[in-house]
């Protein structure tokens, strides 16, 4: 029995506890910068009941790559929700599309709604064609969506 204890304790490298501590410290150190570029939780539509409400009661508009639903927000600020289907595409492609839409919502759509003084819940539902769209194309459509929402809300 003592030989087994010596073998496991004599392995080279840091212990598991030390590795876990180093990882969490690294995350904490770099988290400040990355945290600035996130969509805050208060600006997201997360609950399925809220999503269903916007889908059912909200106005609907369509672009070449996105379906847009918007309704007055029960919160005191505009919020963004994304619906990206899983069917027929790899997880990597789906996550890329979600990151692109989230970034466009965070940097263009929500600030424009804030500047207009609107509290609107906006759902962006990606159509199949959105997977092939470039970031620039999606950005143009989000600009159109912003104008539509501001003029119809």
Tens of pLDDT along 118-150? Answer: 999 999 999 999 999 999 999 999 999 999 999
Give 130's contacts (C-beta < 8 A, 6+ positions apart): 65, 66, 84, 97, 138
Give 71's contacts (C-beta < 8 A, 6+ positions apart): 53, 54, 57, 58, 59, 120, 121
pLDDT by residue (tens digit) across 78-90?
999 999 998 888 9
Q: Say what the pTM is.
A: 0.74
Other CB atoms within 10 Å distance of the CB of residue 146: 21
Rounded CA-CA distance 61/123 in Å is 11
Domain at 41-152: CATH architecture:
2-Layer Sandwich (3.30)
């Amino acid at each position: 029995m003592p030989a087994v204890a010596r073998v496991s304790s004599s392995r080279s490298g840091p212990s598991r506890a030390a590795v876990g501590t180093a990882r969490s410290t690294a995350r904490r150190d770099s988290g400040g910068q990355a945290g600035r570029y996130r969509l805050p939780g208060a600006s997201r539509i997360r609950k399925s009941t809220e999503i269903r409400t916007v889908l059912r009661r909200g106005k609907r508009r369509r672009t070449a790559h996105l379906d847009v639903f918007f309704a007055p927000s029960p919160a005191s600020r505009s919020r963004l929700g994304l619906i990206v289907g899983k069917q027929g595409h790899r997880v990597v492609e789906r996550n890329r599309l979600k990151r692109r839409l989230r970034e466009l919502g965070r940097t263009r759509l929500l600030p424009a709604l804030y500047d207009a003084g609107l509290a609107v819940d906006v759902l962006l539902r990606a159509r199949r064609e959105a997977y092939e769209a470039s970031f620039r194309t999606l950005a143009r459509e989000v600009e159109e969506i912003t104008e539509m929402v501001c003029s119809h809300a």
